[in-house]
A and B are shown apart, each in its own frame.
Chain A
Amino acid sequence: GESVGLHLPTLSVQEGDNSIINCAYSNSASDYFIWYKQESGKGPQFIIDIRSNMDKRQGQRVTVLLNKTVKHLSLQIAATQPGDSAVYFCAENMGAAGNKLTFGGGTRVLVKP
């Protein structure tokens, strides 16, 4: 079936460097994508979203890029901080009734001091 996946299960980053987390999706009908951050013992927390009619969206220290041609999504975190250590999930929404999200497997980001 359709799925969302991530290329790297674990990403180690030096504090202050930029992080890039990648995500591949297979459903060309998906029209909305979200990145979530999940810290240990907590629920997923919304970071940033992007609709399929856009290819880039920026937030505070985060940027999401969408390449519909190759069905690829990425999250860039600028000047990574220790508080950014978490598991990051991408999720896609096909716009069907109920707006169900399909989640990828997650990438763990470890920030080294």
Chain B
Amino acid sequence: NAGVTQTPKFRVLKTGQSMTLLCAQDMNHEYMYWYRQDPGMGLRLIHYSVGEGTTAKGEVPDGYNVSRLKKQNFLLGLESAAPSQTSVYFCASRHPGEGGYTFGSGTRLTVV
């Protein structure tokens, strides 16, 4: 049971490049989330999904898009990366009614 798996773990992008971060969970969780964490700060919600085929904006959605085509996967896309998107990105999942989220180990993204 792998839990929540994020790929890649590290990535360096040039300004204007695009990329997709993949999150996969094997716990059959309905809810999935993408957060970003900047140095010395807490996690801020980018986008989330309450089920396959549905997505919604979080606190800081600008510059990001997401897709939930399969229940177990939640993709985060950056269409045109900016230095302000340098951060550590965490994916999490949860089943309705259960306790805390299960987090992945993060993707460290640097935009130069």
Residues in chain A within 8 A of chain B (CB atoms): 4, 34, 36, 41-46, 49, 89, 97-106
Contact B50 A97 (CB under 8 A): yes
- Asked if B53 is at the interface (CB within 8 A of a chain A CB), the reply is no
The 4 closest A-B pairs by CB, nearest first: A43-B103, A46-B100, A103-B42, A103-B43
Residue picked from A34, A46, A100, most chain B C-beta under 10 Å: A100
**Can you list 23 pairs linking A and B with CB atoms under 8 Å apart?**
A34-B99, A34-B101, A41-B106, A43-B92, A43-B103, A43-B106, A44-B43, A44-B90, A46-B101, A46-B102, A98-B31, A98-B48, A98-B50, A98-B56, A99-B31, A99-B96, A100-B48, A100-B58, A101-B101, A102-B45, A103-B42, A103-B44, A105-B40
Q: Judge whether B50 and A42 touch: CB under 8 Å.
A: no
Interface centre among B42, B104, B105 (most CB of A within 10 A): B42
Of B48, B58, B94, B100, chain A has the most CB atoms within 10 Å of the CB of: B100
Instruction: Give A17 Cβ to nearest chain B Cβ, in Å.
Output: 25
**Is residue B2 contacting chain A, with contact meaning CB distance below 8 A?**
no
Chain B residues numbered 62-112 whose CB sits less than 8 Å from any CB in chain A: 90, 92, 94, 96, 99-106
**In the assembly, what is the distance between CA of A77 and CA of B35, in Å?**
27
Which B residues are in CB contact (< 8 Å) with A102?
45
* Proximity string of chain B (33-61) to chain A, C-beta cutoff 8 Å, 1 when within and 0 when not: 10100001111110010100000101000
User: In the complex, which residues of chain B have a beta carbon less than 8 angstroms from the beta carbon of A36?
Assistant: 100
Distance in angstroms from B27 CB to nearest chain A CB is 13
**CB of A22 to closest CB in B, whole Å:** 15
Q: Is the CB of A104 within 8 A of B105?
A: no
